């Protein structure tokens, strides 16, 4: 078994050696320049538990051609905390042969069994009562290539459900939301909504590459998953000549409009209840998974908030860490420090220093002493007097 994993590095544990030797998949590789013009190597390394920032500052000419992106490598280096996150300073790096690799150690995957998920999806399709929609979905899922890819594909390259089996897990989650939502709104056709759920992201099975890392295929770059899905639906409908034209248009519209807004990549806004509901349920499930993964995989060593997420446009609170801190604070308040012994004076808190004449009181924060920012702030608040 591989050890250590990425999420185990950088933990502040007594006795843990900061020098590590570990194996990873190379997610990105860049040759950059220092301020003096010398080159250094900037890598993002990963395994099934997450990613690790890594740098090699010296002697990169000896290793730069040993490996490329999507290669498996073994590295030796020093783990340090930089900007509140673990960073690996590489001393040496070697390419590994695929025969040395257990792929399950390097690729994140769903916690659910793919065959169990597939059986659940087929059961949902079998429960549909509209014969046309049921026939379309069965024709799609009976395709052996589609079935194999659907079981394995991630739902996205990075943003949400970005792991093997992620697409299937996402679709089942949205199906679980769709059934009670359709029951709540009498005007919603549950079969049409579920058909949209099953098909809305099906183009991703060809949009993405997911054999070694996650990237966009040529078709994914040129067409995108919505156009690919329309092509797949059209191909299956050739074998279903009695499928109503109007119903086909509704299914196609749900695929095209499920991102909800033009600026998010949908060429059409959702224009009927099932399409609107599909968009919001899809968006809800993707955001909840994005939050879960962000909190679980965040590498911030201190603090109760994650790093900023461009996808969510915010930082996210680590609720358990926050509540643990609140509990510790409350515990301290219930057990105050002992009173001073008799005869000892209890000193009052020191008053804050008065501001210099003509200078406003300082801001309510304390810059780190000796930092460039602190030096500049000191110069601004206490300018040197001319003699």
Instruction: Give the pLDDT score at 145.
Output: 95
% of the chain residues with pLDDT over 90: 50
Report the alpha-carbon distance of residue 91 to residue 81 in Å, rounded: 16
- Cβ within 8 Å of residue 278, ≥6 positions away: 174, 178, 193, 196, 197, 200, 254, 258, 270
Instruction: Give the pLDDT score at 356.
Output: 43
% of the chain residues with pLDDT over 70: 82
pLDDT, mean of residues 28-37? 92
pLDDT, mean of residues 361-370? 46
Instruction: Give the pLDDT score at 345.
Output: 40
Confidence of residue 358 (pLDDT cuts 50, 70, 90): very low
Higher-pLDDT residue of 142 and 372 is: 142
Contact 136, 243 (CB under 8 A): yes
Higher-pLDDT residue of 334 and 65 is: 65
Confidence of residue 366 (pLDDT cuts 50, 70, 90): very low
Residue 340 confidence (pLDDT) above 60: no
pLDDT, mean of residues 137-157? 93
Is the pTM higher than 0.85?
Answer: no
User: Could you read off the pLDDT of 48-83 as tens digits, one per residue?
Assistant: 888 899 999 998 888 989 999 889 999 999 998 888
Question: What angle is formed at CA 298 by the lines to CA 151 and CA 174, rounded to 5 degrees?
Answer: 35
Higher-pLDDT residue of 74 and 307 is: 74
Domains of the chain: 6-105 (2.40.50.140), 114-296 (1.10.3210)
Q: Where does residue 276 rank: exposed (0-12), middle (13-18), buried (19+ CB within 10 A)?
A: middle
Higher-pLDDT residue of 311 and 317 is: 317
Instruction: Give the pLDDT score at 377.
Output: 56
Report the alpha-carbon distance of residue 213 to residue 284 in Å, rounded: 26
Tokens describing residue 42? 């900037």
| Furthest CA-CA distance within the chain | 99
Instruction: Give the pLDDT score at 272.
Output: 97
Contact 217, 275 (CB under 8 A): no
User: Could you read off the pLDDT of 155-182 as tens digits, one per residue?
Assistant: 887 777 888 899 999 999 999 999 999 9
Contact 42, 55 (CB under 8 A): yes
Report the alpha-carbon distance of residue 268 to residue 271 in Å, rounded: 8
Residue whose structure tokens are 């801190």 = 325
Residue 235 confidence (pLDDT) above 90: yes
Instruction: Give the pLDDT score at 339.
Output: 43
Chain mean pLDDT for the chain: 84
- Cβ within 8 Å of residue 349, ≥6 positions away: none
Residue 256 confidence (pLDDT) above 70: yes
Pick the range with the lowest mean pLDDT from 61-70, 71-80, 318-327, 359-368. Answer: 359-368
Instruction: Give the pLDDT score at 254.
Output: 97
Residue 29 confidence (pLDDT) above 60: yes
Residue 338 confidence (pLDDT) above 50: no
262, β-bridge pairs: none
pLDDT, mean of residues 33-51? 90
């Amino acid at each position: 078994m591989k050890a250590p994993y990425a999420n185990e590095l950088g933990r502040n544990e007594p006795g843990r050696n900061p020098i590590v030797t570990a194996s990873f998949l190379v997610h990105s590789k860049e040759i950059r320049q220092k301020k003096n013009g010398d080159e250094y190597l900037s890598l993002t390394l990963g395994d099934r538990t997450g990613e690790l920032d890594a740098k090699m500052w010296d002697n990169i000419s000896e290793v730069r051609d040993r490996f490329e992106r999507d290669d498996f490598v073994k590295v030796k280096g020093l783990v340090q905390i930089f900007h509140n996150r673990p960073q690996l300073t590489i001393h040496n790096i070697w390419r590994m042969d695929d025969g040395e690799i257990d792929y399950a150690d390097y690729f994140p995957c769903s916690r659910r069994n793919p065959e169990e998920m597939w059986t659940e999806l087929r059961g949902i399709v079998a429960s549909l009562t509209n014969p046309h929609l049921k026939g379309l979905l069965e024709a799609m899922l009976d395709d052996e290539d589609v079935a194999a890819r659907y079981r394995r594909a991630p739902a996205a390259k990075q943003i949400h459900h970005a792991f093997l089996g992620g697409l299937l897990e996402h679709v089942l989650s949205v199906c679980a939301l769709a059934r009670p939502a359709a029951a709540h709104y009498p005007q919603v056709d549950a079969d049409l909504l579920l058909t949209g759920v099953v098909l809305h992201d099906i183009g991703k099975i060809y949009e993405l590459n997911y054999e070694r890392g996650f990237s966009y295929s040529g078709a994914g770059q040129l067409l995108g998953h919505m156009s690919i899905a329309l092509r797949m639906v059209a191909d299956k409908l050739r074998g279903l000549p009695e499928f109503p034209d109007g119903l086909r248009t509704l299914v196609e519209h749900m695929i095209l409009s499920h991102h909800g807004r033009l600026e998010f990549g949908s060429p059409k806004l959702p224009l009927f209840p099932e399409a609107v509901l599909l968009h919001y349920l899809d968006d809800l499930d993707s955001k909840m998974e994005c939050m879960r993964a962000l909190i679980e995989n965040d590498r911030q060593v201190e603090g109760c908030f994650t790093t900023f997420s461009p996808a969510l446009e915010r930082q996210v609170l680590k609720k358990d860490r926050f509540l643990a801190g609140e509990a510790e604070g409350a515990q301290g308040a219930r057990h105050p420090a002992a009173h001073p012994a008799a005869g000892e004076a209890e000193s009052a808190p020191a008053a804050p220093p008065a501001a210099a004449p003509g200078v406003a009181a300082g801001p309510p924060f304390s810059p780190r002493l000796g930092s460039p920012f602190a030096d500049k702030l000191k110069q601004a608040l206490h300018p040197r007097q001319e003699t």
